[in-house]
Amino acid sequence: MDFINAIGKLLNESGFMTMTWQQLLMILISCFLLYLGIVRKYEPLLLIPIAFGMLLTNLPGAQMYHAELWVDPENPAFKPDYQLILQKGGILDLFYIGIKTSVFPPLIFMGVGAMNDFGPLIANPKTFLLGAAAQFGIFFTFIGAQLLGFSALEAGAIGIIGGADGPTAIFTATKLAPHLLGAIAVAAYSYMALVPVIQPPIMKLLTTKKERETVMNQLRPVSKKEKIIFPIAVTILVCLLIPAAAPLVGMLMLGNLARESGVIDRLSKTMQNELINIVTILLGIGVGATATAQNFLAVETLLIIALGLVAFAVGTAFGVLFGKFLYWITKGKVNPLIGSAGVSAVPMAARVSQKVGQEANPSNYLLMHAMGPNVAGVIGSAVAAGIMISLLI
């Protein structure tokens, strides 16, 4: 009899008996995202950890993540009690501490800074403006989301998807609307993966064939001294102007200085390889963990995904339109196609400019020119995120 009771108790405690249909649906969604990551190769480096985090957090009884320790839907001013989290939290709660305390996104930015060469931007500082123009999508969506009934804080977090920068979107969402983090991260990374699909039609629609064929002058060589002073100067200027952007911009520029200074190769290599990889794993799983059934299965998620697309498309469009403006004032020296690279998504967006440019004129090489607005976009979206945070909190 005891034996049968024991089996019965085990069965009742197993996940199969306690699972709700919402959790089952979430498990199916996470499997679909895993499929997109593995088979379709949509940003697999992040999508796979995120999707797996979603899978783990929705397995009933596993107790790896406790949403109630982090947010209280009734009380927006709820502050997590870290002592309690350390005592009762599961492993995903512990990973999530790094996101909630805004440690991981700046560390990722450090790696991004160490991986990217700001030379094309230094050689052609006009392209800074394209990086700014592409941030229009953020503010456009900020208004749109509020008209659709989102609160100002939520709208701010959703708008940042238009910056097309994963770490920035995560950084802002944890500060402004942590309950939407899962949906925002999934939307941001999906659209970043879809850059080659979303951008070309917008770029072609807004430019004439003649504009697309524009060949740009070769960039001037940039000296080592300039490359070293650049990160220091940007840090001082931006962090004084918008202190809320300091964690992202500061770390981005530290990474870049490590790269360009040439005297701390070991640190620079760690930043762009081991460190960013480790943080990516923890960040991905932690973000995925927040996508619990009760958080994620809401009409809002669908709206966020739709608004994310709008943000992205408007950002691209304004980048291209500003590129046209530069084409016009420089009398045809700037190819407007590089404007679309002003949304960050490094280096994918720059490759798209190159590809569309080559379709119009096979002998045209826009890649290096597009890298300028592309890295300016990283700085621009971090600045926009900082402004959003300081305007809304």
Partner 1 sequence: MWLQSIVGISVVFLALIALSFFIYLFGKVMVNGSTRKKTSDDALKEIKNIEVSADTDDAELIAVITAAIQASLKKAGITPECKIVVKSFKRIESDSPVWNTTGRKEVLN
Nearer to partner 1, 15 or 125 (CB): 125
Nearer to partner 1, 245 or 276 (CB): 245
Nearer to partner 1, 181 or 379 (CB): 379
Q: Closest distance between partner 1 and the C-beta of residue 126, in Å?
A: 7
Q: Closest distance between partner 1 and the C-beta of residue 344, in Å?
A: 13
Q: Closest distance between partner 1 and the C-beta of residue 390, in Å?
A: 9
Nearer to partner 1, 183 or 384 (CB): 384
The full length of the chain comes to: 393
Binding site for partner 1 (CB under 8 A): 121-123, 125-126, 128-129, 131-133, 135-136, 138-140, 142-143, 146, 152, 220, 222-223, 225-226, 229-230, 233-234, 237-238, 241-242, 265, 376, 379-380, 383-384, 387-388, 391-392
DSSP string, 196-252: HHHHHHHHHHHS-HHHHTPPPPPPPP--HHHHHHHHHHHHHHHHHH-GGGHHHHHHH
In angstroms, the CA 334 to CA 322 distance is: 11
Nearer to partner 1, 99 or 385 (CB): 385
Q: Closest distance between partner 1 and the C-beta of residue 223, in Å?
A: 6
In terms of DSSP H, where are the helices of 19-118? 21-38, 44-57, 82-88, 91-100, 104-115
- Contact yes or no for 307/141 (Cβ under 8 A): yes
**Beta-bridge partner residues of 75:** 72
In angstroms, the CA 120 to CA 369 distance is: 6
Nearer to partner 1, 135 or 214 (CB): 135
State both tokens at 315: 């950002």
Q: Closest distance between partner 1 and the C-beta of residue 138, in Å?
A: 8
State both tokens at 174: 């944890």
Determine the 3-state secondary structure of 75 from DSSP. strand
Q: Closest distance between partner 1 and the C-beta of residue 242, in Å?
A: 6
